Structure 1
Amino acid sequence: MCLSSLLFFMSFNMLLPELPDYLTRLGGEDYKGFIIALFTLTAGISRPFSGKLADTVGRIPVMVFGSLVCFICGFFYPFAVTVTAFLGLRLLHGFSTGFKPTGTAAFIADIIPLERRGEAMGLLGVAGSVGMAAGPMLGSWLAQRFSLNTLFYCSSGLALLSLVVQGTMTETLPKTQRQPFSWKLLRLESWEEVFEPRVLAPAVVTLLCLFPFGAVLTVVPDQSRFLGLVGENKGLFYTCYTGASLVIRLVAGRASDKYGRVPVLIGSSAIMVASLGLLALAQSAPVFLAGAILLGLGTGLNSPTLYAWTVDLSHPERRGRAVATMYIALEMGIGLGALLAGWVFANKPSHLPYVHLFSVFSVLAGLVYLLIWRRKTAA
């Protein structure tokens, strides 16, 4: 599962450093915020369906569909030669992350005991972090040494390898719960099929703490260029960010199993606030990359803990939908962050600090929510 996730995350993350410049060359420099926002829009919309299908058809079919979308979309980027076609393809590409991670998290929750859930989610996060670190670095290298089309086809190839790995796995959804796929399963008959109320708390924290991720993904390519990180160094921010995230997940993967989910989330949120402050103040590449490292440490603690907390609160028979609810909040946070960042930035370097300050306020709101939650549950 970790190998499949590594390949999947590499597949679509390797595109990120090059897409803003590519869109600019197509004449769409004013739409940079939509690169992430449209991707997350369809990912968020598809979550209720992927969650329901994971609980009825199976975890593996949901993962296979997500990887298949990634594989197909990679081949079509070279043909998206207008702004409309490019943005339409980003919209379709989002279905990949709407399905694959939902099935993955449910699969992991099925096979890991409660007392090691945080550790397992941390290890899964390590695989994702390696993919996120290696992907942008490899993508920039391929684009510089070969061509953008080579980059797109390699992205598609990695998604295909992820599909091959999934073919070696055994379905974990009990046979008594499985149903053959039918179009009726895509009909949502109640609000509870969209939102799992048991996991409201982790969903709120996910939305507020993932808002900065969408903002950062939107402005980092331009901020990197303004600070002199060009060519093969364009993906250096992502490498520092995901490298730090990887290290902390290896070292502190069991932290939430030992100390509790909420205390770890409080600490990770404080680290994220400090990192975003550095990004807002960055006038040089070293300060900028220091912010990337701190952000990686904060999110490296934050993400697996949110996964584990979501699974803790979910009912076993609605685990797919609970995970999907958390992911809907994730996509909303990332999408809103990307849209606001694109609007605030407006291709003006002097506006970059304001983008990161909006992210600081979002994480602070999440931190306050966690403190209120802790006091409420303690009482």
Structure 2
Amino acid sequence: MLYIGFIFFLITTCLYFIVTNFSFLLINRFLNGAALGMASTATGTIVAKIIPNERRGEGTGYYALSVVLAAAFGPFLGMMLTHQIGLMSNFILCSIVLVISFITIFFLKVPQVTSTKKKVEKQGGFSLQHFFEVKAIPIAIIAFFVAFGYSSILTFLTAYTQEIHLANIGSFFFVVYALFTVASRPFTGRLFDERGENWVMYPSFISFAIGLLILGEAHQGIALLIAGGLVGLGYGTFSASAQAISIKVSPKEHMGLATSTYFIFLDAGIGIGPFVLGMLVPSIGYRGMYVSMAVVLFICFFLYYFLHGRSTNTLKLKRTV
């Protein structure tokens, strides 16, 4: 899965160089997304298999940190390269990075997957359970709404900072976001393992929501950077912890299915968000949109309680080294 996903992802990324019309762009974008989904599901499952259960939160947190850093420095580099060199420089950099990443695959020690005739027969026929892990759906639903809120930043931050005349400092939003995420990841992961997920999940909703409120009311650069730090603490902590939860509540043999279920909902929120929010912006403006997303995050606080938080065993877990 990892080999196929990476090769497919590299090919579709290179195809951006020869895009000649909008239809071709949409088709290639669809295939590019499918390849990314395949590769990310494979890597997420590999990580889940090699992390000890008693260090699930911490280990998943370090893995998710790589995704968060990419999502933070990617837009920063993309905006800088597009402005300084041109749009095509982004695709050149992405192609080089993918080639390097593909080479590193051959140095991985991946646990072997064993299958029996009984397992194959059990998986025969069409069923939604073959594509979704039911026990991971509650936390995945919450991930959808959180990602929906995060999509407002990924998609509209550049236009928003231009509108409020803070474009020069706007790109550093993601840098501060990354720094706060990196700084918080070691202790949030350990807290997840030692005290339970509720100790990190509830604060992550509050931090993200307050960050969105400050972002929506920002009039100075310092407010923009403070918002970036709070969003980094909130979304960065949530994305890692929610993925760990989806694996934790699912059967061990369904790690791959749980991982894909989580990312399906997460990516759906990021994908659908810009489409829906794009229709709201003309009516409520960027500031109104960010305040509205803060309300959504506060609702997620209570949604998490009813779907997962109240049934969580928060007793301290013993760690083994």
**Code of the aligned partner of 1:97:** L
Please name the residue that 2:156 is paired with: 219
**1:136 to partner: Cα distance:** 2.6
Counterpart Cα distance in 2 of 1:292 and 1:234:
10
Please name the residue that 2:18 is paired with: 79
Counterpart Cα distance in 2 of 1:342 and 1:187:
42
**1:376 to partner: Cα distance:** 4.9
Q: In 2 relative to 1, CA 377–176 (structure 1 residues): closer, same or farther, beyond 3 Å?
A: closer
**Code of the aligned partner of 1:211:** F
**1:146 to partner: Cα distance:** 2.6
Counterpart Cα distance in 2 of 1:216 and 1:188:
41
**Code of the aligned partner of 1:77:** Y
**Code of the aligned partner of 1:339:** F
**1:326 to partner: Cα distance:** 0.9
| Deviation digits for residues 244-301 of structure 1 (CA, Å, limit 9, x no counterpart) | 2222113422121112113311111111111111111122332122212110111121
Please name the residue that 2:305 is paired with: 371
Q: In 2 relative to 1, CA 69–174 (structure 1 residues): closer, same or farther, beyond 3 Å?
A: closer
1:191 aligns with 2:128: yes
**1:110 to partner: Cα distance:** 0.9
Of 273, 279, 285, the residue aligned with 1:351 is 285
- The answer on whether the counterparts of 1:229 and 1:285 sit within 8 Å (CA) in structure 2 is yes
Counterpart Cα distance in 1 of 2:11 and 2:167:
30
Please name the residue that 1:280 is paired with: 216
1:162 aligns with 2:101: yes
Counterpart Cα distance in 1 of 2:125 and 2:29:
25
- Per mean C-alpha deviation after superposition, the further-off stretch among 108-117 and 199-208 is 199-208
Please name the residue that 1:98 is paired with: 37
Of 318, 322, 326, the residue aligned with 2:258 is 322
Please name the residue that 2:268 is paired with: 332
Counterpart Cα distance in 2 of 1:353 and 1:93:
32
| Deviation digits for residues 67-89 of structure 1 (CA, Å, limit 9, x no counterpart) | 32332233222333444433333
**Code of the aligned partner of 1:298:** G
CA RMSD of aligned residues (A): 2.5
1:313 aligns with 2:249: yes
| Deviation digits for residues 167-216 of structure 1 (CA, Å, limit 9, x no counterpart) | 211331333469xxxxxxx9971010122111122112211221111222
Q: In 2 relative to 1, CA 227–67 (structure 1 residues): closer, same or farther, beyond 3 Å?
A: farther
**1:118 to partner: Cα distance:** 0.7
| Deviation digits for residues 7-48 of structure 1 (CA, Å, limit 9, x no counterpart) | xxxxxxxxxxxxxxxxxxxxxxxxxxxxxxxxxxxxxxxxxx
Counterpart Cα distance in 1 of 2:151 and 2:125:
28
Task: Name the SS of the counterpart of 1:253 in structure 2.
Answer: helix
Matches within 5 A, 1:1-379: 62-176=1-115, 189-230=126-167, 235-346=171-282, 351-372=285-306, 373-376=308-311
**1:165 to partner: Cα distance:** 0.7
Q: In 2 relative to 1, CA 236–273 (structure 1 residues): closer, same or farther, beyond 3 Å?
A: same
Counterpart Cα distance in 2 of 1:82 and 1:217:
25
- The answer on whether the counterparts of 1:282 and 1:288 sit within 8 Å (CA) in structure 2 is yes
Q: How many matched pairs?
A: 307
- The answer on whether the counterparts of 1:137 and 1:239 sit within 8 Å (CA) in structure 2 is yes
Counterpart Cα distance in 2 of 1:335 and 1:139:
19
| Deviation digits for residues 294-325 of structure 1 (CA, Å, limit 9, x no counterpart) | 10111121111111111111112211111111
Q: In 2 relative to 1, CA 294–165 (structure 1 residues): closer, same or farther, beyond 3 Å?
A: same
**Code of the aligned partner of 2:232:** G
Query: With structure 1 as the length reference, what TM-score do the two structures score?
Result: 0.74
- The answer on whether the counterparts of 1:78 and 1:152 sit within 8 Å (CA) in structure 2 is yes
Task: Name the SS of the counterpart of 1:267 in structure 2.
Answer: helix
- The answer on whether the counterparts of 1:214 and 1:333 sit within 8 Å (CA) in structure 2 is yes
**Code of the aligned partner of 1:200:** I
